[in-house]
Amino acid sequence: MIDIVELTRRLVAFDTVNPPGREAEAMACCADLLREAGFDCRLTPFGAGRCNLLASKGLEPGRSALAFSGHLDTVPLGAQPWRHDPHEAVVAEGCIHGRGTSDMKGGVAAFLLAALEAKLPPGGIVILLTAGEETGAEGARAMAAAPLPKIGAMIVAESTLNRPVQGHKGALWLRLTATGKTAHGAMPHHGVNAVMKMAHALTRLEGLCLGPTHAVMGPPTLNLGTIAGGLNTNSVPDLCTATLDLRSVPGVTHDDLHALVAGRLGPEINIERIIDLPAVWTEPAHPWMAALASHAARIAGVDTSPTVVSYFTDASIFTPVLGDVPTMILGPGDPALAHQTDEFVSIDRLIAARAIYATAITQWDGQSAQISF
């Protein structure tokens, strides 16, 4: 049987930088391993050289499976030189170095091995491996458009240093457009200035209350990320665009946020949704969540006080589609290293993650609410 270091290195060796992704070969590698262990594997094309993988084993009518979620695409390497080749997966100083080690091929390797080796639980196991997560969870959206197995709870193996995380904020990105009429800059009265139209509208967003504060996530937020417009200094601009990054919390819907922003901006500003991923949150007191957190603390010695992460995950797509099943974000990677030059993952944390996942599997009862570790 392949070990955790070898499998992580094998996955990192696939160049799945997104764009363009090219996750298909890495997905096929995972499917081959799972098929050998009796998993039913469905590879679904997702663009050129890309696909998703849905794998399952032991599904039973009337019971729910335990699911693991992960993605195989990675972000670009950046302009800075790497200490080690980013796809060689060098082992040094107790770590594996390379792009995707922390975010999140190490986590994927850990749950794949746990699924291959652990005793099959009632209700079975489901593996949800996606392409295209880094650019807005497009792969998860495509996978969720087709029927999924009955799933009772899900572990997302994103980077948390093996700390149990109960959720994350949602992301609603909006593109704003103002149009005008071009004219000579010396005769502005002949034109309609789109930049000024946008500027006046944006000032109305200042101090806007977006909704209630969540006890753990804090308040929803709004950031003006970009603004662009104009042809040259001596022309009246006839187009101006801006982008907004809104982060939502449970109890605040994206339709509400969209309507609130639109109401402030007024009818002269066109609004288009770029990314629309809702917040994810499961109460820490849920029996399955609390039991898994307790077990993670014993295995990895981590803090189990309720917390969230700042990034979004594929759970934004899967959790609502599955009926808001309890969802734990827990993985061996370090969130501070995600998307960084010289990314790496600790081998000890990989081993601990696999142990946490394996016990979660063996203790699964096909429901989710009555489990204790």
Residue 1's pLDDT is 76
368 domain-assigned? no
Specify whether 30 is located in the same domain as 120: yes
CATH code of the domain containing 31: 3.40.630.10
Let me know if residue 372 belongs to a domain.
no
Residue 355 belongs to a domain: yes
- Evaluate whether 74 touches 102 at the Cβ level (below 8 Å): no
- Boundary of a domain, candidates 261, 277, 293: 277
340/256 same-domain check: no
Q: Quote the number of domains for the chain.
A: 2
Do 269 and 344 have their domain in common?
no
Cα separation, 23 vs 21, whole angstroms: 5
The pair of structure tokens assigned to 195 is 């930049």
Q: Is residue 236 part of a domain?
A: yes
Please tell me the distance from the alpha carbon of residue 357 to that of residue 227, in angstroms, as a whole number: 44
Query: Quick one: 150 and 290 in the same domain?
Result: yes
* pLDDT at residue 367, as a whole number: 86
Q: Is residue 66 part of a domain?
A: yes
Which tokens belong to 128?
């949800």
Within a domain: 369: no
Residues 120 and 35 reside in one and the same domain: yes
Positions in the chain short of pLDDT 50: 370-373
Residues 184 and 264 in one domain: yes
160 and 179, same domain (yes or no)? no
State whether 31 and 159 are in the same domain: yes
Question: Residue 36: its pLDDT value, please?
Answer: 97
Distance CA 223, CA 172 (A): 11
Same domain, yes or no, for 132 and 206? no
- Range(s) of the domain holding residue 339: 4-168+280-362
- Interval 346-359: pLDDT, tens: 999 999 999 999 99
| Residue 116 neighbours by CB under 8 Å, 6+ apart | 1, 33, 34, 37
Helix (H, G, I), strand (E, B) or coil at 124: coil
Give dist(CA 344, CA 298) in Å, integer.
Answer: 24
Closest CA to 164 of 283, 357, 316, 328: 328
Tens of pLDDT, residues 174-191? 999 999 999 999 999 999
Choosing from 277, 301, 323, the residue where a domain stops is 277
- Are both 229 and 155 inside the same structural domain? no
Element (H, E) at 11: helix 4-13
Closest by CA to 327, choosing from 169, 170, 160, 153, is 153
Q: Residue 175 corresponds to which amino acid?
A: R
> 225 with 151, same domain?
no
> Is position 245 within any domain?
yes
The pLDDT value recorded for residue 370 is 46
**Residue 277: beta bridge partners?**
171
* CATH number of 227's domain: 3.30.70.360
Final residue belonging to a domain, choices 249, 277, 305 = 277
pLDDT recorded at residue 46: 87
Same domain, 164 and 178: no
Nearest 5°: phi and psi at 118?
-75, 155
At 359, list the tokens.
């016990």
Q: Is residue 367 part of a domain?
A: no
- The answer to whether residues 55 and 45 touch, using CB atoms and an 8 Å cutoff, is no
First to last CA, the chain: 27
